[in-house]
Amino acid sequence: MTRTTTQSSLGRAVLIGAVAGVIASLVMAMYAMMAAYAKDTGFFTPLYHIASLVTNDADMMKSMKADQMNGDAFTFLFGPAILGAMIHMMTGAMYGAVFGVIASKLRLGLAALAGVGMVYGFGVFVMSAYIGLPLAASIFNSGDPIKNMAEMAGWGTFIIEHLMYGVALGALVAVGLARSRTATVTAKAAATVRH
């Protein structure tokens, strides 16, 4: 294997992982939003909670209070919702890119990689809850809503969200890597036939 092939394979694994991470972050977000709705804290509140990394927590509190006091579970604030979604998807892409590289070295099938993804999702939970979020809260001076996100969302909910992220990530990366390998083998075979 040449250096160019190795770099190309690594780049492909990063891209596959990043795209899978974005999609998996949407799976995670959908669960978080349904959990928030079930807890009467506002369907879109998780997006405003994430956005409070760089804004204040007023939008999050407005959404929570609207649901609890008025029964309005669907308070939608466009700017903070988009900001929260973008931060969440970028974070998902970053963790996904790392997973893509790891998965490309493992060469496992769909079910096994989904299982590895679940374990990875738990690792992302630990990293986020105990290191990433407190560090981000300190860097962006965003305080307790970010620092204590796992506690505010509910530890069980926060763990399940991350496990779902991991399973979706593992399955999507498995499919992406399998397609990439098939395309590479097909291209090499076609090149060999031409010569």
The whole-chain average pLDDT of the chain stands at 91
Using the predicted structure, report yes or no on whether residue 1 has a pLDDT greater than 50. no
DSSP string over the chain? --HHHHHHHHHHHHHHHHHHHHHHHHHHHHHHHHHHHHTTS-TTHHHHHHHTTTS-SHHHHHHHHHHHHH--TT---HHHHHHHHHHHHHHHHHHHHHHHHHHHHH---HHHHHHHHHHHHHHHHHHIIIIIHHHHHHHTT--HHHHTHHHHH-HHHHHHHHHHHHHHHHHHHHHHHHHHHHHHHHHHHHHHHH-
Q: Where exactly are the structural domains of the chain?
A: 3-40+81-188
pTM of the prediction? 0.89
For the stretch 10-67, pLDDT in tens is 999 999 999 999 999 999 999 999 999 999 999 999 999 999 999 988 999 988 888 7
For the stretch 160-195, pLDDT in tens is 999 999 999 999 999 999 998 776 555 555 556 565
> Quick one: tokens of 118?
């679940």
